[in-house]
Amino acid sequence: MMQRILKYGAVALLVLLVLTACEEELGPVDPLPDFAIEQVSLPARLNTVGNRAYDIAFRVIHPRGPAAVENVSVSFLTNDQATELLNLPLYDDGAEEHPDDGDVIARDGIFSNRFVPVAASFPQGNILLRVDVTDDAAVRYELAPLPITVFPNTPPQLLAISAPDTLYAGNLPVLFAGEAQDADSLVDLSTVQMRLKRGNAVITSFNLPLEEALDFDRGRFGRLFDSSFAAGRDSLYTLEFQAVDLSDDVSNTLSQSIFLENRPPTIANPGVRDSISLPPAGSIDTLHVKLSANDSQGLGDLATVNFTLTLIGGNTNGPFGMFDDGSGGGVDNGDTVPNDGRYSLILQLNSGNTPGTYVFEFQATDKVGQVSPLLTDTLVVLP
C-alpha cells in the first residue's frame, strides 16, 4: 500500500511539475475582454415618407465570445422614455435564418437588422433608441439611449444632367453637372453623385458640389473634368447621376453614355552623354540617364517609363525603370522635381564593365497597356 501511495504521489508530483513548466513557458494568460456594445450602423434620421429600409447594426463584445450572447434587440422610445414605439431584434446569422436582416457574416459579433419606419408608429421629432443585450447566463446589459430624429422627408428629384458624350484626349476642362430639386428646400440637398460604370460595375464615383442655386428648392451641382478623367480608362462607359439629401434619401437616376478617348504616351529629349571612360580599378563612376514623358490623359496615366541597354555585338540588359518621384523613395535616382514629366535613373560603372558602343531604347507604357514609339540613343564607353 505504501509503495502504491508513493507511486501515485510521484505521478502527481510529475504532473504538477509539467503543468508548472508549461505555465512558465506559455507565460501569463491574456485577460478576457471587457463587455462592450459598439455602434456599427445607425441612421441619425428616419424618414416616414415612402418605403425606405434602414440598416441597424451593433457590435457586441462579450468576455466569452459571440456564442455567449443570447439575444440582442433595439427599442425605439419616446423622448421621455415612457413609451416603447417598436422593439426590433438584431441577428448575427449572416442572413441565413433571417434573409432580410442585412447581416453579412454569421457569428462575428455584429448583430444586424433592417426595417421600414411606419408613420403611424413614430411621432415626428426626437426619439431615442436603446440597445438591450442578454447573455446565456441571463445577465442583461444595455447601452445608454441614442437620439434619432423622425420627420416626413420628401426625397429629392434629379431633373436633368449635362456631360459630354465624348471626352477627347487632351480635352480642356468641361463641366459634368446634374440639376436637382428638393421640396424641403435647396439646403436639404447634400450632393449629386456621379458614378462611372462599365456594365453593372462601378469604376469610380464623385460627389458633385453645388455650383449654382437656381431657386429656393433647386440647384445645379457640377464639377470640371479634363482628359485626365480618362487616365487608366478607354472606350465606352456609362455616367449615372443621382441626387442625395441630408437624410441620405436618394432621387431617381439619370444616365448617359460617354466615350473616353485614350491615346498612347509620348517620350522625348533623352539625356545620355555621348561617351564616358571606365573608372580606374577599385573606383565607381555614375551615369545620369534622363527622359521626358507625357500623356494626353495626364501624367497619372503613365504606368512605366523604362529603357533597355544593348552592347553592340553583345547582350541586352533591362528593362530599367526610370523615376519621376523627386528621389522620394530614399534612394537617389537622379530625379530632383517630382511629377514634372522628367524621368531619371543613375547607372553605376566600374572598371569591370565592357567598353564599346551601347544603344539605349526608351519606351513608356500607360495604364491601359498602350506603349509609346521607341526612342533610341547611344553611349560610347571608353576603356
User: What pLDDT, on the 0 to 100 scale, is given for residue 2?
Assistant: 37
CA distances from 224 to 52, 82, 106 (A): 33, 53, 44
Ranges in the chain annotated CATH 2.60.40.10: 36-151
Q: Determine phi and psi for 342, rounding to 5 degrees.
A: -105, 110
Query: Where residue 6 falls among pLDDT bands split at 50, 70, 90?
Result: very low
Residues with Cβ within 8 Å of 144's Cβ and at least 6 positions away in sequence, in order, are 130
Ranges in the chain annotated CATH 2.60.40.2550: 266-382
Which position has the grid cell 441620405?
248
Top CATH class, 36-151 = mainly beta
User: What pLDDT, on the 0 to 100 scale, is given for residue 49?
Assistant: 81
More confident residue, 195 or 35: 195
Question: Counting every residue, how long is the chain?
Answer: 383
Does residue 18 have a pLDDT over 50? no
CATH number listed for the domain at residues 266-382? 2.60.40.2550
Helix or strand or coil: residue 193? strand
Does residue 30 have a pLDDT over 70? no
160-186 pLDDT per residue, tens: 999 999 999 989 999 999 999 999 999
Ranges in the chain annotated CATH 2.60.40.650: 157-260
Q: What is the DSSP letter of 66?
A: G
Does residue 21 have a pLDDT over 50? no
The mean pLDDT value for 3-14 works out to 37
Does residue 372 have a pLDDT over 70? yes
CATH number listed for the domain at residues 157-260? 2.60.40.650
Does residue 281 have a pLDDT over 80? yes
| d(C-alpha 212, C-alpha 196), whole Å | 23
User: What pLDDT, on the 0 to 100 scale, is given for residue 14?
Assistant: 34
Query: Where residue 1 falls among pLDDT bands split at 50, 70, 90?
Result: very low
Contact 173, 225 (CB under 8 A): yes
The amino acid at 360: F
296-330 pLDDT per residue, tens: 999 999 999 999 999 999 999 999 999 999 987 77
Contact 7, 113 (CB under 8 A): no
Average pLDDT of the chain, as a whole number: 89
240-278 pLDDT per residue, tens: 999 999 989 999 999 999 999 999 999 999 999 999 999
- The burial class, CB within 10 Å (0-12 / 13-18 / 19+), for 281 is exposed
The mean pLDDT value for 224-245 works out to 96
User: What pLDDT, on the 0 to 100 scale, is given for residue 40?
Assistant: 96
